[in-house]
Amino acid sequence: MGKLFIILGIVFLIIGIIWTYIGKLPGDISFKKGNFSFHFPIMTSIVISIVLSLIFFILGKFR
């Protein structure tokens, strides 16, 4: 269980570093009108979902 938390921590660290440098991806929706702003990261959510699915698939193969 400890190794799993270490691997997940490293993965989240890498995702955080990548997210900092990439920022907003094409396909993310942003609206700004006056005092109201709305941001919905569709493409970012898809990328994170794919990466996490691959990670859990690989971890499942080792179990």
Alpha-carbon distances, residue 22 vs 15, 25, 33, 49 (angstroms): 10, 7, 25, 16
All structural domains of the chain with their residue ranges: 2-62
| pLDDT by residue, tens only, the chain of 63 residues | 788 888 888 888 887 887 777 767 777 888 899 999 988 888 878 888 998 898 889 888 877
Of the candidates 7, 22, 18, 16, which has an alpha carbon nearest to the alpha carbon of residue 54? Answer: 7
CB distance 44 to 30 below 8 Å:
no
What is the residue whose two structure tokens read 């921590």? 9
